Amino acid sequence: MTDLNPTLQPIFDEILARNPGETEFHQATRELLDSMGPVVRRHPEYTDAAIIRRICEPERQIIFRVPWVDDAGQVQLNRGFRVEFNSALGPYKGGLRFHPSVYLGIVKFLGFEQIFKNALTGMPIGGGKGGSDFDPKGRSDAEVMRFCQSFMTELYRHIGEYTDVPAGDIGVGGREIGYLFGQYKRITNRYESGVLTGKGIGWGGSLVRTEATGYGTVYFANEILKARKSSFEGKTVVISGSGNVAIYAAEKAIELGATVVACSDSSGYVVDEKGLDLALLKDVKEVRRERLSAYADERESARFVAGSPTTSVWDVPCDIALPCATQNELDGDHALALVRNGCTVVAEGANMPCTPDAVKVLTEAGVAFAPGKAANAGGVATSALEMQQNASRDSWSFAHTEERLEQIMVGIHARCLETADAYGVPGNYVAGANIAGFIQVADAMLALGVI
């Protein structure tokens, strides 16, 4: 890690002291501050108004009890979170994550990233994130429903289409959004479609929202390739995860002519040299909700490597790597393996999947590296398109919505490069994304006064 600018070091020291034990939040704030040197030199007004200090402090943090009854009649207890981080640009916007690892530090890192990601989309949305340490794995539909109902029984009082608009994330897909929306509607007696995004198509959802994060990540990677006079055609791609983001990143990469040879889940990874059979993968993961080994059991060309964490998928040689599982899943050693095997582009579909060491290795080796806050912004951008459709009581075609998504991703890519150039760090997507997102939020905060 490089030394911070003398204006920024005390800010980081304060973050460490005020948020003890929240390692992922420290990592995310540090990564932003690492890009802020040229910004504080050029814009003393941000320092005078304590913008960076304020932006690193959530506007509101809500932690609540979520009791629910399992199928055996036992009372279960979980903890719920919603961190409303920044509303300078619009209502708080960001997903809900249900995973046993969820605690305040993870929700705050995700909410923090969301502020700048949302700004980069150019849409009027602030940043927030939430979730619970509830583990939906192995739970019946009825248990998931009772959990979601209890979760919303507290959350409803904090959200609203002009206040805070949650969506899905790890462990929260269409089924969970349905149960959450149903309970919100029941408690408030309002059919307020715009309060949640990721809804089903028949009841206020947007076409392309399911595909948006994965497709958007591939569109972003495609722009990187175009800038290098290349394309996805004929390339070998490795993807981590096999959830929402991973599946649709694979779908778009295949559509653009690539072969996706591996993906993973938390039980291991599959290698399929013939290229993933997406219909089978979707059936195993989206319909049957089974472990990834079931895919290899049913496909002759595939083998399953069990027991290893999702990260070992990075040993599989590829031209393009798309980490789409979870934070800190790709470390320095994995990055070295990618470089050794000739990988030239890494685009983050997940949030902060690459450790700082990994980013350093990749960047020093000349691998184009796209951070999640830029590369995976297609999901939240399409959520904002869902909000637009809800507000106008309209529903757009798949083709129109996908065209909007592609334009947004092309725009974010251009903005990252232009900003990186303007601040003396040409070609650096991390700095470009951080600076462009930050400046948009900082200017709005300056205009709104000390609030």
Pick between residue 31 and residue 169 the one whose CB is nearest to ligand NDP: 169
Q: Report the C-alpha gap between 7 and 48 in whole angstroms.
A: 11
* Residues 418 and 410 sit within 8 Å (Cβ to Cβ): no
DSSP bridge pairs for 238:
262, 321
Q: Report the C-alpha gap between 345 and 144 in whole angstroms.
A: 38
Q: Report the C-alpha gap between 170 and 261 in whole angstroms.
A: 23
DSSP 196-247: SSS--GGGT--TTHHHHHHHHHHHHHHHHHHHTT--STT-EEEEE--SHHHH
Strands of 324-425, DSSP E:
345-347, 368-370
Q: Report the C-alpha gap between 350 and 339 in whole angstroms.
A: 20
Binding test (CB under 6 A) with ligand NDP, winner from 163, 266, 293, 395? 266
Number of helices (H) and strands (E), helices first, in the chain? 18, 12
Q: Is 129 a catalytic residue?
A: yes
270 binds ligand NDP (CB under 6 A): no
Pick between residue 194 and residue 243 the one whose CB is nearest to ligand NDP: 243
243 binds ligand NDP (CB under 6 A): yes
437 binds ligand NDP (CB under 6 A): no
Pick between residue 89 and residue 102 the one whose CB is nearest to ligand NDP: 102
Residue nearest to ligand NDP (CB): 243
DSSP bridge pairs for 306:
268
213 binds ligand NDP (CB under 6 A): yes
251 binds ligand NDP (CB under 6 A): no
x-or-dash string of contact with ligand NDP, 137-176, rule CB under 6 A: -------------------------------xxxx-----
| Size of residue set near ligand NDP by CB under 6 A | 24
Binding test (CB under 6 A) with ligand NDP, winner from 80, 91, 111, 349? 349
Q: Taking the complex as a whole, how short is the minimal distance between the CB of residue 169 and ligand NDP, in angstroms?
A: 5
351 binds ligand NDP (CB under 6 A): yes
Q: Candidates 148-156, 226-234, 260-268, 271-279: pick the segment binding ligand NDP (CB under 6 A).
A: 260-268
DSSP bridge pairs for 237:
260, 320
Pick between residue 173 and residue 194 the one whose CB is nearest to ligand NDP: 173
DSSP 129-166: EEEES---TT--HHHHHHHHHHHHHHHGGG-BTTTEEE
**The one catalytic residue among 93, 108, 117, 129:** 129
Pick between residue 106 and residue 361 the one whose CB is nearest to ligand NDP: 106
180 binds ligand NDP (CB under 6 A): no
Classify residue 320 by its DSSP letter: E
328 binds ligand NDP (CB under 6 A): no
Binding site for ligand NDP (CB under 6 A): 101, 168-171, 213, 241-246, 265-267, 310, 324-326, 349-351, 376, 379
Instruction: Please identify every residue annotated as catalytic.
Output: 129
